[in-house]
Amino acid sequence: GAGVSQSPSNKVTEKGKDVELRCDPISGHTALYWYRQSLGQGLEFLIYFQGNSAPDKSGLPSDRFSAERTGGSVSTLTIQRTQQEDSAVYLCASSFLGNSPLHFGNGTRLTVT
């Protein structure tokens, strides 16, 4: 498909386990963003990539959260030792340079039990 693809669409994990969330951006988009949205809340910025580098990691809530991007394409968001408060929808978006709009995926719904 031509849109941003995220996998898995749903993930249920036990507290304390590690999880990996994947984002496939639109081909050719150089910028990639991760947001999360808790139930009934707005979007919270997590991290931004330009190419493979992450100039802005200011939104990562703790050192349990990390993200990488390889080949200027696919990105993985990793949450170690998950906690119940990590439960949320994790959204990925990509865009071209400049003021081009963000294109979002439909997110991964993470539930930590």
Partner 1 sequence: DAKTTQPPSMDCAEGRAANLPCNHSTISGNEYVYWYRQIHSQGPQYIIHGLKNNETNEMASLIITEDRKSSTLILPHATLRDTAVYYCIVNYYNAGNMLTFGGGTRLMVKP
C-alpha torsion angle, residues 86, 89, 95, 101 (rounded to 10): -120
Which sign, positive or negative, has the C-alpha torsion 19, 37, 12, 63? Answer: positive
Q: What DSSP state is assigned to residue 84?
A: G
Verify binding: residue 101, partner 1, rule CB under 8 A.
Answer: yes
Question: Segment 20-39, which members bind partner 1 (CB under 8 A)?
Answer: 30-31, 33, 35
CB 81, min distance to partner 1, A: 26
Verify binding: residue 45, partner 1, rule CB under 8 A.
Answer: yes
Verify binding: residue 77, partner 1, rule CB under 8 A.
Answer: no
Verify binding: residue 48, partner 1, rule CB under 8 A.
Answer: yes
**How many whole angstroms from its chain centre is CA 59?**
11
Q: For the stretch 69-100, what's the b/e string if a residue is b when 16 or more beta carbons lie within 10 angstroms of its beta carbon?
A: beebbebebebeebeeebbbbbbbbbbeeeee
CB 62, min distance to partner 1, A: 18
Which window, 10-18, 68-76, 78-86, 88-96, contacts partner 1 (CB under 8 A)? 88-96
Residues binding partner 1 (CB under 8 A): 4, 30-31, 33, 35, 42-43, 45, 48, 50, 55-56, 59, 91, 93, 95-107
